[in-house]
Amino acid sequence: MIGRLNHVAIAVPDLKAAAARYAGGLGADVGAPIELPEHGVRVIFVTLPNTKIELMEPLGPGSPIAGFLEKSPAGGMHHVCYEVEDILAARDRLVATGARVLGDGTPKTGAHGTPVLFLHPKDFDGCLIEIEQV
């Protein structure tokens, strides 16, 4: 069921500064900012040969990323995203095995314009998992 690693997401307090570090010091291919009000974040994707890094900052104080940054003001790894072919079949299989889907279980549209769901970190060794249909 699980496909390739789509991206690793890093919460940052300053998206513009983080993007400059990746573009400057690391010489990475850094995309343009994308606002995702439904998720409460602004993101930039850094394209690597084998995957992507998603840099994320909160859109406002009610953002889940704002809460994350309160606990970790310097930022840090927020989640990993794996690709799946059929998000509803993946959700049903995960729920049947005891995994908890965050929210109401209805996929939302992610930054790539495709359906995504998040899985509870307590069910995956402390790591927040995003699954994305491709």
How many Å is the Cα radius of gyration of the chain? Answer: 15
* pLDDT score, position 1: 86
Whether the CB-CB separation of 28 and 47 falls below 8 Å is answered with: yes
For the question of residue 57 being annotated catalytic, the response is no
CATH code of domain 5-133: 3.10.180.10
Provide the residue ranges of all domains of the chain, joining segments of one domain with +: 5-133
Residue 49: how many other CB atoms lie within 10 Å:
5
CA distances from 29 to 22, 48, 84, 114, 120 (A): 8, 7, 25, 22, 31
Residue-level pLDDT, tens digit, the chain, 134 residues: 899 999 999 999 999 999 999 999 999 999 999 999 999 999 999 999 999 999 999 999 999 999 999 999 999 999 999 999 999 999 999 999 999 999 999 999 999 999 999 999 999 999 999 999 99
pLDDT at 110: 95
Options 57, 83, 130, 132, the catalytic residue = 130
User: Could you tell me which residues are beta bridge partners of residue 5?
Assistant: 82
* Strand-pair category, 52-58 with 76-84: unpaired
Instruction: Specify the pLDDT at position 134.
Output: 95
* Predicted pLDDT at 55: 98
Q: Residue for token digits 């109401």?
A: 104
Q: What backbone phi and psi angles, to 5 degrees, belong to 32?
A: -85, 155
pTM for this prediction: 0.94
